[in-house]
Each structure stands twice: as structure tokens, then as C-alpha cells.
Amino acid sequence: MKRLTRLCAATLLVCASFSAHAHRAFLVPSQTVVSGNTPWITVDAAAATNVFEFDHVATRLDNLFITAPDGSKVAAENPFTGRLRSTFDLQLKQTGTYRIGMLNEGLFASYKENGQPKRWRGTAETFAKEVPANATDLQVTQRIGRVETLVTNGKPGGVAVKPTGKGLELNPVTHPNDLVEGENATFQLLLDGKPAANVKVEVIAGGIRYRQKLGEQTYTTDASGKFSFRPEKAGMIWMEAEVRDDKGVQAPATNRVASYVVTLEVLPQ
């Protein structure tokens, strides 16, 4: 009973630390480094209060993409969406690194109609049809967000890890599947293919349920968009960055939010 009480107290403390944040989205693979003749992995997709815990809602797989090491597109197998998570299987038939992710694009609007506050999500094509022409206090934001993970079969390599030049992305300096506890790793953030300077990056290790502090770490990219960190423990980590600006915005939006989330695995020495 005492152990349960301590666990509940720790959970409440962690949840309180999240009170200022929206639910966090993630893709979490069963493994990020595998080997053998066409091995399989399973991937879970969800949005949750605590990263890698299924305590809120499943993420739908409509915008899922899987890029093989040779750049070809691969379909997920056995997809399923439940109440708290979606899941799918992937057979890694090629040697090298696979990029698995969700790409979400669209517009978000807030406005008033007859004095009543309204919110809307959709595309530029449906905006004029669904948002009243007489809307007041109209604010429209263009959003592009990526939620990704990377998995390597055998030796790392291939073209899947190369940035697309669209939105906020991770450009590996240290390979994402070559993270080891106690060793420095360096990454670069790109925004539309160019270095994203002075961007804050939040890193949270998994296992939140079993500790009393969230233990998040925050880094800031330098002028070249790079940042370095040293993971202290093996396990899954969740990394997030976000940029808000008015560049590359298409009407009717007046500003944009570009976000990037990636799940990585730190291996033991």
C-alpha cells in the first residue's frame, strides 16, 4: 500500500508539471536497432500527458509515412486504432535506416461569429467554405508538424534520413540510431532546409511514471542550427522543437507554427 501511495504521489507531481502543456504526441517503436533477415518491429502512436504512456488518446494513422533506406515508400502492416493508441507492424526488408513519421499540415483559425468565439481547423481549400465571411477578430495560423522515429536494420545508412526541405526537420550529425549513454550527440535543426538558429529543444526521458520529477532538459540551437547533449541513461527519449514566425506563409494565414517531434533510443555502454 505504501508503494502504491508513493507511485500515485509521483504520478500527480509529474502530471502537475505538465499542466502548462498540451498533450504530447509520439511514435514509439518496439526497437530502434535490429538485425537479421527481414526482422519485424511494432510501432505505437498516441498523444498523452506522459510521453510513452497511453493515458489520453490514439493518434490516427491517416498521415503516416514510412521511407525505406533506398527512399521508397513502404506500407504499414496490421494497422489498428484503439481508444488509447494506434499500432502497426513493419518488416524491415532492407538494410539501413527507415524513417517513420506523421506529417500534419493545415490551417487553424480563431474568430467570433455573432459575438460568439469559434475555432476551426482545415485546409486552405475549405477555409472560404467553412469560415464565415463576416467573421470578426479573425486569426489564421498555418501549421506544419512532424512526429517521427528512426529505425535501423543492420548498418545505418540510406537516403531516408535526408531532410526534405519542408518545415522543421532534424538533420543528423550523430546518427539518430547511434546514441549511447554518457556520450555526446550532436544534431542540427533545419527550417525549410536552412539552419534553424536559436530554437529551444526539449528532451524528456521515458519512464516518467517511475520518478518524481519530469527531468526535462532544454537546449538551444546555435547559429548553425546545431545543439549537443549527453544522455545519462539508456532508454527511449522524446525530443521536441517548435518555431513560430511569419515566413513562407500563404493567405489567409498571417503566421505559422512549425514543429518537430522525434523518439530516439539511447543504448547502454
pLDDT digit string (tens) for 34-65? 998 899 999 999 999 999 999 999 999 999 99
Domain ranges of the chain: 2-267
Residue 103: Cβ-neighbour burial (10 angstroms; 0-12, 13-18, 19+): middle
On the question of pLDDT at 243 being above 80, the answer is yes
Distances (CA, A) of 19 to 16, 53, 85: 5, 16, 22
Locus of grid cell 493515458: 55
Which tens digit of pLDDT belongs to each residue from 78-103? 999 999 999 999 999 999 999 999 99
Q: Which fold has domain 2-267?
A: Immunoglobulin-like (2.60.40)
Give CA–CA dist 61/83, Å, rounded.
13
Q: How far apart (Å, rounded) are the C-alpha atoms in residues 132 and 137?
A: 12
pLDDT at site 22: 67
How is residue 265 written as a grid cell? 533510443
Contacts of 15 by beta carbon, 8 Å cutoff, 6+ apart: 49, 50
